[in-house]
Chains A and B, each alone.
Chain A
Amino acid sequence: DGGITQSPKYLFRKEGQNVTLSCEQNLNHDAMYWYRQDPGQGLRLIYYSQIVNDFQKGDIAEGYSVSREKKESFPLTVTSAQKNPTAFYLCASKRQSTALSGANVLTFGAGSRLTVL
């Protein structure tokens, strides 16, 4: 089955540590995204990538870093510079829309919950 796999599902981090969240997709999608969700709130965009070896900052990129070395993978590193990292992190992907298909829909992974101890 095609889809997006996020790992780990749960992660605990001590203050001052960097952690990396994995996101892998086998949908052959071009674009990938990282969102952060805090309890009872909507999603905020951290980083996104339209193509391999290229990515752009979202609304809350400070304290985070990403890489896009392969089309299938878009790992997110939560660095020690992120002061309040406890949150639910969601990865998504999208096939690039074309004028004909109009496809502009995100497919999400199941999420990773990060807790800072």
Chain B
Amino acid sequence: SQQGEEDPQALSIQEGENATMNCSYKTSINNLQWYRQNSGRGLVHLILIRSNEREKHSGRLRVTLDTSKKSSSLLITASRAADTASYFCATDFMDTGRRALTFGSGTRLQVQP
């Protein structure tokens, strides 16, 4: 499967701590994105990193991309209870003719107040 795999599957931390989620994929990509999903809702785009970028920041979010290892990480700093959600990586694969994102299995983040 070309689908991204994420770890951990679930993560529970205290408010104020940092949360790190990882995503691995199998084939070359054009870009990698991270999305957030609150329980029972649609996904919301957080950040996009292109294949020629190594690190990107957006507010409390930091994303890294290592194309040699085919992996990415999402760091949420100074977490808040409102960050509780599932987080998904999504990849835009280069080698296929398919023009659609492929999503990972997600990390469920619980931030304890």
Q: Which A residues are closer than 8 A to B by beta carbons?
A: 4, 6, 31, 33, 35, 40-45, 48, 50, 56, 58, 88, 90, 92, 102, 104-111, 113
Looking at chain B's contact residues, is the secondary structure mostly helix, strand, loop, or mixed?
strand
State the Cβ distance, A44 to closest chain B Cβ, in Å. Answer: 8
CB of B113 within 8 A of chain A?
Answer: no
Give the contacting residue for A35; candidates B30, B41, B103; CB below 8 A: B103
Interchain CB contact under 8 A, A43 and B92:
no
Looking at chain A's contact residues, is the secondary structure mostly helix, strand, loop, or mixed?
strand
Q: How large is the interface on B (under 10, 10 to 19, 20 to 34, 35 or more residues)?
A: 20 to 34
Nearest B residue to A107 via CB reads: B45
Give the contacting residue for B41; candidates A31, A42, A45, A110; CB below 8 A: A110
Interchain CB contact under 8 A, A109 and B105:
no
CB of B69 within 8 A of chain A?
Answer: no
Q: Name the segment of B11-19, B72-80, B94-102 touching the other chain.
A: B94-102
